[in-house]
Amino acid sequence: MLSCKSTKQEKIIEPVKTENPQNRFCFIHDIKEENQKATLIFDLIEQNNDTSNSQSKIIELPNGFYFSNNEKKFEAIEIDSFSVIVLQTFSFNEDGNFKFNEKVKLTDFMNVFTDSTNSRFKMIPFRIVSTGTKIDSLFEIYIP
């Protein structure tokens, strides 16, 4: 028959499209684990490049942008166990430079963040992407 083929047809699975993903910037205050679920406790910050408002700058970036925080208010949201965590200063390569854009497992990030010798992570801004009630991805913002 002309219409039959002996080749296998692959099933194409389309990614689930989420509505209105939220991109927000924050400082991470803590990560709590309870009942095998991780919860991120964070304080939202704003990214801006308005030169007229220099009073609320917390961190200035070389590209003219800065982060500000007008109100310290902690929020909590669950981290999806399959979330993507990308860090800039997590580890070093053979030359002693940071491994930029390094994907890290949630358990590894939690271990490093909760270690008292790594308190520097509390002063690094992160970008959170969430689509609903869980964090889908977490990105460290590199400050040179």
Q: Give which of 12, 46, 38 is closest to 111, Cα–Cα.
A: 38
CA 3 to chain centre: 50
The answer to whether residue 87 sits within a structural domain is yes
pTM comes to: 0.78
The answer to whether residue 109 sits within a structural domain is yes
Domain carrying residue 54: 22-140
Pair 45, 25: CB distance under 8 Å: yes
The answer to whether residue 14 sits within a structural domain is no
Domain count, the chain: 1
The answer to whether residue 47 sits within a structural domain is yes
pLDDT tens-digit profile, the chain (144 residues) = 455 555 544 444 333 444 567 899 999 999 999 998 999 999 999 888 776 665 677 788 777 888 888 888 999 999 998 999 999 999 888 888 999 999 999 999 999 988 877 788 888 999 999 987 899 999 999 988
The answer to whether residue 74 sits within a structural domain is yes
The answer to whether residue 62 sits within a structural domain is yes
Cα separation, 88 vs 141, whole angstroms: 7
